[in-house]
Structure 1
Amino acid sequence: MPADTAMSTSTTTPMPRRQIGDGGSHGLAAVDLPALGLGCMGMSDFYGPADRNESIATIHAALDQGMVLLDTGDFYGSGHNEMLIREALSGRRREDVFIAVKFGGMRSPDGGFVGIDTRPAAVKNALAQTLKRLGTDYVDLYQPARLDPAVPIEDTVGAVKEMIDAGYVRHLGLSEVGASTLERASTVHPVRWLQIEYSVLSRGIESEILPAARRLGIGISAYGVLSRGLLGSDWRQRADALDPHDFRAHLPRFSGDNLTRNLALAEVLSVVAGEKAATPAQIAIAWVLAQGPDIVPLIGARSRTRLAEALGALDIHLDSGDLARIRDAIPAEAVAGTRYDAGQMRMLDSERRLPMD
């Protein structure tokens, strides 16, 4: 059966759990989380218009399947995403949901980004706004979206620690930081997870960052597991029809020859998918799940159809031969183009080892 039509759109497998962030030498109990989380960003921003009713229905479907980790950011839609989640959670018990929030990204009225602010006072102010928008008195995990070059990470983490001690935050996370920053942050307070892009096309964390995280007892919250759609089965049909507000139109991996080369690399997923009666997207998710029990992939589904497809990845087993075959067919150095444009790449502490033009 062709990979584009072979489809396991739901799972009969109960949602598996993963133990994330034992704190290493801090000796903390790990946090018990579902193996997949729902990334809610696309319901408010970056990928063009989203259907509000379908977004809420997708959140409900995820929760009903045991996918209780909801990932958001206070700057997603300049607060829209948090308010959407509040609406979706109306009538549900707060303790049945794990809400992770990123902060620090500053937006202008026209939607542009105007910098990062993670000063201690800004941390507390942002959290106050988030609690109001979410309609809750605590968030489960709070994390700066990027490293602020003007603020020592110890100061930012110290402010989050104060909010943890006060009961407004349960756990600390970090996003897109390098190994040395993880080390420094961990001297102030245990870091539960590092949120960072990780997929078969984005494997930059494997050399330094992932080993450091594991040494420190820090879990991985992996976003971009489908490389923003490059690894999805229908990308070829829609690559030329991106909404003008879809930020992928400005990403190097989606432009010109880079796109052609990357789609060719990803073809191995279609082959494996055909053999497993699955879709390429399901294989891509299963690949990330297979990289370790301390990794939770975030699924950026904006519809129940996409969510059901993603959940089907839980029924797929990739053996050592499958994993080696995929790695051999997609050498990390063969991927064409950087993850973001040059300006945004400079903001990534996780990429600081790479030369920048």
Structure 2
Amino acid sequence: MSQYQPTILDRNTGPLGYGLMGLTWRPQPPSFEDSIPVMKRALELGADNWNGGEFYGPPDRNSMHLLKEYFTQYPDDADKVILCIKGGGLPDGTPMPDSSPENIHRSVDTCLDHLKDTSKKTIDIFECARVDPKRGNEQALEVLAEYVKAGKLGGIGLSEVSAKTIRASQKKVKELGLPGVTSVEIELSLWTPDVLYNGILAACAEENIPVFAYSPLARGALSDNPIRKTSDLPEGDMRRHLPKYQDDVLAVNNQITDAASEIAKNHGSTTAQIAIAWVRGQSGRTRIVGSEDGSKKEMKMPTVIPIPGASSIKRVEENLKDVVLSEEELKKLDELVEKFPTKGDRYHEGGMKVVNG
């Protein structure tokens, strides 16, 4: 492994984590029986940061149900996993944010209830998946702090937040008597390097908050089998509705994929491994990043832990292979990101209204 040692909640942790979304939130998810060996293999390979969600699937089959099954089958793994759960959506499983105290209590209690009969009775990090545009997140932070003080949560995470919200939340959490925000979850990949330019990663660096980077493979686009046209995606696949995966921009967006593939061939790795290694390589790295006001400055990056998802052991083993890029290789990929910027928003119009809140 690389010399940079990530820490979360004062625990040494692996440089790569594991996203659980695809195991329960897709048109035809795998069975729990098939998913549990994949999760076990991810943990064996050092991916001990697991990221799930109350709304990753319907109310009767989401991440929490799967985790209950896993920790029932493997009780000794409870202390090995740093579990981060997103919630704060509507009771019907819709991820629309509702940060009323009543709903935050409901969401946390529901998630904890799934684990109460397992060896993993607490959640290490709980984060509201989005900032409620009507209420903000101050009340949610107050409620979550109560659970941390009661020993039911290990810490409070943030998800899809702006630089301004990161700083305000860090201040608020400390005022509530906690050490600070535990982590910030953001999207970061060669296809979506936005946080390098809009001040979000800079704010995490300034506040010394670790980052969980989701979709480091651009939802499967950064692979040896690129998405060349929208119809390549299965019926019912959410990517069919996302701007970056439409026929009119895919040729442009695949320029960075094809360039990364060439680097991968020379490196003796897969495109996915190079894409993940670039995200992972930002941890502790000194580089130029953008601020909210558009200015640029050189900073040492915070801990950045990619959390790629995978629903097969073969893919988990590919994604979690220990591929480390040199600074020269990282800079080459930085140059390609600048040269081949992708087109299209991260989400459809409605989804964009609740990102970077």
Q: Same fold (TM over 0.5)?
A: yes
Q: 1:129 aligns with which of 103, 110, 113?
A: 110
Measure, in 2, the Cα distance between the counterparts of 1:155 and 1:85. Answer: 28
CA contact (8 A) 1:261 1:336 kept: yes
Which residue of 1 is the match for residue 169 of structure 2? 185
Which residue of 1 is the match for residue 7 of structure 2? 19
SS of residue in 2 equivalent to 1:244: coil
Q: Does 1:173 align with 2:153?
A: no
Which residue of 2 is the match for residue 4 of structure 1? none
Offset of residue 252 of structure 1:
0.6
Cα shift readout 1:316-348 (whole Å, capped 9, x = no counterpart): 232222222222222287211111111101111
Deviates more, 1:274-283 or 1:95-104: 95-104
Identity %: 28
Q: Does 1:200 align with 2:178?
A: no
Offset of residue 225 of structure 1:
0.2
Q: Which has the higher contact order (CA 8 A, sep 6+)?
A: 1
Q: 1:249 aligns with which of 229, 234, 240?
A: 240
Rate the CA distance shift 1:120–1:171 in 2: closer, same or farther, 3 A: same
Q: 2:311 aligns with which of 302, 305, 322?
A: 302
Measure, in 2, the Cα distance between the counterparts of 1:160 and 1:242. Answer: 38
SS of residue in 2 equivalent to 1:116: coil
Please tell me the residue identity of whatever aligns with 2:258: E
Please tell me the residue identity of whatever aligns with 2:266: E
Q: 2:125 aligns with which of 141, 163, 166?
A: 141
Which residue of 2 is the match for residue 234 of structure 1? 225
Cα shift readout 1:295-321 (whole Å, capped 9, x = no counterpart): 111011111011000111x2x232222
CA contact (8 A) 2:229 2:246 kept: no
Offset of residue 69 of structure 1:
1.6
Cα shift readout 1:40-79 (whole Å, capped 9, x = no counterpart): 0010113643343321111011122232221101111134
- How many pairs were matched up? 325
Cα shift readout 1:185-206 (whole Å, capped 9, x = no counterpart): 1122110110010111211111
Cα shift readout 1:276-299 (whole Å, capped 9, x = no counterpart): 111000000000111124011101
Deviates more, 1:228-237 or 1:142-151: 228-237
Which residue of 2 is the match for residue 326 of structure 1? 333
Alignment of 1:209-220 (within 5 A): 209-220=200-211
Measure, in 1, the Cα distance between the counterparts of 2:324 and 2:17. Answer: 19
* TM-score, normalised with respect to structure 2: 0.85
Rate the CA distance shift 1:320–1:47 in 2: closer, same or farther, 3 A: farther
Q: Identify unmatched segments of 5+ residues in structure 2.
A: 174-179, 285-302
Which residue of 1 is the match for residue 324 of structure 2? 317
Q: Does 1:59 align with 2:42?
A: no
Offset of residue 264 of structure 1:
2.0
Q: 2:343 aligns with which of 336, 340, 344?
A: 336
* TM-score, normalised with respect to structure 1: 0.85
Cα shift readout 1:247-298 (whole Å, capped 9, x = no counterpart): 0111111001211211122211111110111100000000011112401110
Which residue of 1 is the match for residue 140 of structure 2? 156
RMSD of the alignment, in Å?
A: 2.2
Measure, in 2, the Cα distance between the counterparts of 1:103 and 1:295. Answer: 22
